[in-house]
Structure 1
């Protein structure tokens, strides 16, 4: 290295080549030297003084060779600081501090250098250096820069040369702010006014630099810059239209200007002025506004009002690169809106396309809707211009606009259709010459994507007058040479068909415009709710044109797989929507045979199966419309081909086949094929059953029994399938333990029992009882199955009930048999009044409350509550009285009462019968809250109160609200828990009527987050979590008040930590952990449901703090939040990466104790896995930013560390990296 330095620092003129070689060698050493090598630190400290000395010599030299040498030295120094700077940042090392100081003293004067290349590279070197210097040196440097900015700024009027030096100093503040954003934040209030002031100096390069600097402040210090947002908006709006060399009235949207805009466009494209660099200022301003929108989406409504109109006026910007940036800025505004809308669309159903969730979103939608005419008016001319990038960006903008508004362009279709037609139809003499000559592949794909979204989000009848333009354009795209364009064209054709021939919903009377994604779904169960109507006569020829075109493509053998699948999907939509318009001979002689042929092809069979399923779901297959009778001659072959795939190893193929067979069985007469179908189904269920296959198999069996001859079909199923179902229920109960699977299973047993074969029902019950004895997990499902089988009218329930009662009262008895008997008695009580059969049953159940087994006691309470449904007047008063007087068994009595209330609310008849008892029960329950209750008992009381409140909200909610101010914490806990529970009650708690009554009370309830009692705060946070998950629109406007209270609960409170002595050991117990964990869980829910209403930077700060929390669970939750943030708001997260490094490093370098047990080792590995995944997601935010120089140096160095083979987490990180890559590929394929 010493020799390389000597060669590099030579000043002999004829040895320039040697110096260059030495410079390359030094750069290679710096870049390639291993960071974990023992000599790296000492080598860095030895190399740096030599290079600093050489830089000082070249600065004073006047030779031409020294100029290039100077640049080379600065480049090498930049590499050293960025890659090896950690070896200069040892706090207690005097030598390190001296090197830091020398580096600053050598580099800083170069900001005054006459050469711009030297100044720029010096700024880069300082940017790489400052993360590693000590705080006092950092402070001195920033203060020196501020002082010099003031001096240069005051003197630049007299000395114009100082303008460039001032520009370099301002650029240096930008660089320091990027690399050390949090250290720089305290100085922002001094720097920002200076930079803002110098924007007004008459120098476009300086003006551009000032705007770029403010842009970097926004990106790196979004929280600190918040107070300057109005000023920044004003600045951006002023300079985004700054064009001193081009006179333009500010009212760009006036009628006169619009009339002359075509001529202006042509003139604009011809305009040229090599000396005019004002476009750089406008471009920087557009990016400034984009950064502001991306980092402060909480002000979305204000941004729309202030920025939106000006951006629309600037859509006619004469400089193309600036115009694209203006489009992208408005696109960012739309994207922020659509993120908020999509975050909430899963939990809230709106009735109007303009009614987004919450008043803020509604306001945004109204603001944007008011801007639509102006947007379309300007874009309609840009979209048929000469510039392909402009047209591409324009269609992207329009697509996002439609998605945000779920339509909104009803009155603008006439202006948009010519632009859609423009890339596909070649018409001489049009604007810009021949259309086809002004297009490219990406533009065509973007136009097709827009058209699909456009059609899906507007009423079909709006497009009918324009089909003579749209259909030929899409057919032309279907003939394109590029397969992606052809496949995209068929996707659009599917939507066009639904637009040409929409169905009318019987209930709403409105057109049904479901997405063509139904084609690849399982079934369209809503088909019976829609009815075909006669299409307009003008649309019929277009349907025939699409049919003929699609059929030819499906027949072709030389097309790509993507095009074949898309064409088959389009054919399915054609038959589903318009098979009455297709000639019957074509349907029977062309369509069905070609589909049968495609079923036999391995490449196309999956899509063909889904296509046939969708066809069969058509309302034309419902009586009295039997237009799909063309399937009948081929039905046996079709069913045989499809059902044969149940034996295939391809999982999706098996699932699609079962769904298709179920649909065909339900729609057509397939009874003759039942034996073969059941044989294949038996083979599939015995080979593999899971949560996806079993429900659709049960659905198929139910359809077979309902559609065919019930008696003969039941006999077939009894002989071939029932034993398999019983085996699954007993051996794999998790597959049918809840949800749709359990509902289908119960329906299956009921239909089987309806065959009135009492002997077989009894046989099934016996088989269930005989097989279940070894698996207790199956008891709840078996008990429901037994109860469903007892619905057989001929079956005598008494013997079965006697057997169960015998098992219950047996002493000592077999515990498992007793447990199953109790569950079964309760389930049977749903269908039968058991008092006549067992008059003393309730006494037996009450006596079991004294059982030593908790399991038996809980099962007795369950059974007691359920049998009360069968005879409410007799059993319910007994349970209520037990609750009133209970002391020892009050929890079990309450549990029984809760079962009665919960089950009674499931049907109107039982709810009506129960309603007379609610006032008395309510009073008793509130009396219980005045006593000291255990947590479990208090929870049951809360659940009962919550359930009752959903039955009559007008009566009971005010009573709940009146108890919020109770002096007893237990009462406040009970009230909050009751409200929280209502959000999980699917039928009543989620109803609009109940929510409208609850809405005024929600904020009063949630303000208890600041209650003095820890338990009240914990339960209130749980309530906030429930509201955020189920009905986020109730809290969106209140998050500004609630979030600071929530963040307070995420802090570790030392007052709740105490030491417990356990023999010779001392153990720390944190009683505040549950509350803190609930707070972080609530934050995660809010991130998914209310992101547009969250001040994101404060949120990110608490999420990052969570990864340093001592609790394992909170670390994991915080990792999940950061992963989610990297997806939904990468820009905001990217500026905080450096602040997370220390906590992430602490996790990834942690080790388990030598004495750690297996469980501790697994938890630690889980934590490392989660942390590595978080690092990978966070790293992606760097690549998503616009400029590579925005990378966070500390995080970048940390990322290199964890990827090194010597890192403790190297193996786990490599594994997780592969998992994330595979997941991304799968998501991309699905998309």
Structure 2
């Protein structure tokens, strides 16, 4: 009864003279349509008495040309919704209504809205009869693909896709071929979103079994060359890469398309060319993924012969076929991740032999391949990897990377290991926590962190036990593992680790610098991804964190290099990590940070530290100037000297180009901080009438007398 009472005034408001009321009434009409018939099946409510009144009210606005653009667009949108929802009750009205919508497609002002309206109609489960306008609509939409308006082309691609899915049997093959020609011009890495939509439409065209043989030919001649050019791009990623994979899978199904020719085209695209040189690493991974999808689409026999061909390449001399072996390993990894390759005898042994290659990229690719084929059949390949890690000391790092690929994939797919597998993996990983090689420890930590995402109830207590280990490397590895277990999205580990966070982060006061740095990195990760988990601990942690920013003489040593002596600062990485952590906390937990107690002496000390420390300190100073200007102005005098020293520093006469460039970057970084300070100083002067820092005023005066410095400052200030 409420619907009847509401509909009458709403439909009456559609006829109002004031355009704002009319536009809003049309939007309400759209919601009314959804309420009147929320589903095609219905729920016992007789909606038919409301169909014609709603239709007539909107039609009166749709056919009125002398009205505001907002009203026109709302009327078009609402009519599209009415037709898609009530079309089976408007069969007599459609021949007069649909041509009006087509007419609106011809108007530059309303064409985008009309295109979107036809997308809604095409997606209707009522399968609305569009025979009276379909050919005209397809012609108009095809022409829109040539327009410069990006939003229009984007909407057109989506609408064409919906129309072909719903009305493919009523669209002629010649129209398909024209569309394909236009699509080929949209496929490039300059607009990956548009490329993804264009490729998805190509797949829809090829998937339509009613399309002629010429459609497949047109796609091969026009779109395939563009796709092969796109796959070499280092920018290719995300939805565009997924759409490209689907494109190759669809193409192998289309008429007269040879799998062997497509495979050869993909593999050939990885060959370096005289013009552009070698193919980017990212492009090799894209090619490998497309090869894998192509093989799976072609069937088991083609997939098996391809795997055999790839393993034959690995048996060749790696010194003469390194590029081919690299791609072959990546392809095997991608195929293995999607399909069980355990029927191919000794494939794991063939891959692991590539660890002997003199080329690092082949070793890395072999590690990646071994890990990925293990995903396809854990019961066979995982025990092999675990056994090899214990027995192959020289290959442990690469084998652990293979294990990491398995664990990461399991955590992404939310899959669980068998209980026995988890126990074996954990025992092996914990045995390698004390490895002398930092690379091994880091991989172990990442593996533990990713397993914690899968089995948090088991891993968090196991990690906590080991923070009391007498071995510093074990304590550091455990804290880094916690860092890898914290991701931005909500996970079940969050509530389990929350009560234990303090135990891990308090290692920031450990005696060993490696452990302290690991705790600082973990705190930074928490601050970035899950700040609410650590806010309560910050009053206790911040003083300990600030202490890590101080130069400690006991960590500075002199190394005797024969005729030369070299000073090594073992605390540099820790100080840099500590300042970067403060920078993150300023973004996520500013309410917990007291800038007055940090700026002097800690930030002031950092501004006069090593190059690697100065850079994050300049960034912190700029943020504090923007977010806490009063605290910065209170100590502005004390910050001038380190900044002045930095911008006036001159490299030695015999300095190499890298040192000169680095110093130039440092000066520009300091000038950005100075620009931020000057902004708040000028704001203070405009309010109070006096200068807050004579030393800073002197600094600005000195800079203005140096044309080089002033030009740099002026360009930075206006960025």
Q: Distance in 2 between matches of 1:1168 and 1:567?
A: 56
For residues 668-817 of structure 1, the aligned pairs below 5 Å read 669=168, 672=172, 673-685=175-187, 689-706=190-207, 709=210, 712=213, 713-730=215-232, 732=233, 734-736=234-236, 738-755=237-254, 760-774=258-272, 775-776=278-279, 777=281, 778-791=283-296, 792-793=298-299, 795-811=301-317, 812-817=319-324
SS in structure 2 of the partner of residue 1068 of structure 1: strand
User: What is the aligned partner in structure 2 of residue 597 from structure 1?
Assistant: 106
User: What is the aligned partner in structure 1 of residue 97 from structure 2?
Assistant: 588
User: What is the aligned partner in structure 2 of residue 836 from structure 1?
Assistant: 343
Q: Distance in 2 between matches of 1:898 and 1:1217?
A: 46
Q: Distance in 1 between matches of 2:453 and 2:377?
A: 23
User: What is the aligned partner in structure 1 of residue 479 from structure 2?
Assistant: 976
Shift of 1:534: 8.9
SS in structure 2 of the partner of residue 638 of structure 1: helix
Distance 1:544 1:800, change over 3 A: closer
SS in structure 2 of the partner of residue 790 of structure 1: helix
1:889 aligns to 2:395 (yes or no)? yes
1:959 aligns to 2:462 (yes or no)? yes
CA contact (8 A) 1:702 1:751 kept: yes
1:880 to 374, 377, 386: 386
Distance 1:1053 1:615, change over 3 A: farther
For residues 390-405 of structure 1, the aligned pairs below 5 Å read none
Distance 1:667 1:473, change over 3 A: closer
CA contact (8 A) 1:475 1:546 kept: no
Distance 1:655 1:581, change over 3 A: closer
User: What is the aligned partner in structure 2 of residue 939 from structure 1?
Assistant: 442
User: What is the aligned partner in structure 1 of residue 275 from structure 2?
Assistant: none
Distance 1:940 1:1200, change over 3 A: closer
User: What is the aligned partner in structure 1 of residue 405 from structure 2?
Assistant: 899
1:1025 aligns to 2:524 (yes or no)? yes
Q: Distance in 1 between matches of 2:540 and 2:677?
A: 29
Q: Distance in 2 between matches of 1:468 and 1:1145?
A: 71
CA RMSD in angstroms, aligned pairs only: 4.6
SS in structure 1 of the partner of residue 568 of structure 2: strand
SS in structure 2 of the partner of residue 954 of structure 1: helix
Distance 1:1139 1:549, change over 3 A: farther
Shift of 1:949: 2.1
2:451 to 948, 964, 974: 948
Distance 1:624 1:499, change over 3 A: closer
User: What is the aligned partner in structure 1 of residue 354 from structure 2?
Assistant: 848
Shift of 1:639: 0.7
Q: Distance in 2 between matches of 1:629 and 1:1043?
A: 71
CA contact (8 A) 1:866 1:899 kept: yes
Q: Distance in 2 between matches of 1:1121 and 1:682?
A: 48
SS in structure 2 of the partner of residue 1069 of structure 1: strand
Structure 2 unmatched runs, 5+: 273-277
Q: Distance in 2 between matches of 1:1082 and 1:1147?
A: 23
Q: Distance in 1 between matches of 2:688 and 2:99?
A: 60
Cα-to-partner distance string for 1:142-192 (whole Å, 9 max, x where unaligned): xxxxxxxxxxxxxxxxxxxxxxxxxxxxxxxxxxxxxxxxxxxxxxxxxxx
User: What is the aligned partner in structure 2 of residue 513 from structure 1?
Assistant: none
TM-score by length of 2: 0.82
SS in structure 2 of the partner of residue 834 of structure 1: coil
CA contact (8 A) 1:662 1:700 kept: yes
1:821 aligns to 2:319 (yes or no)? no
SS in structure 2 of the partner of residue 813 of structure 1: coil
Q: Distance in 2 between matches of 1:622 and 1:946?
A: 46
Shift of 1:981: 1.2
User: What is the aligned partner in structure 2 of residue 256 from structure 1?
Assistant: none
Greater relative CO (CA pairs within 8 A, separation 6+): 1
Shift of 1:1216: 3.0
1:869 to 375, 388, 393: 375
Distance 1:594 1:810, change over 3 A: same
Distance 1:620 1:739, change over 3 A: closer
Structure 1 unmatched runs, 5+: 1-460, 480-485, 507-527, 1221-1231
Distance 1:468 1:1171, change over 3 A: farther
SS in structure 2 of the partner of residue 1208 of structure 1: helix
Shift of 1:907: 3.9
1:1214 aligns to 2:718 (yes or no)? no
Shift of 1:954: 1.8
Shift of 1:1014: 0.9
Distance 1:844 1:1152, change over 3 A: same
Shift of 1:477: 7.7
CA contact (8 A) 2:606 2:614 kept: yes
CA contact (8 A) 1:1103 1:1118 kept: no
TM-score by length of 1: 0.50
CA contact (8 A) 1:592 1:634 kept: no
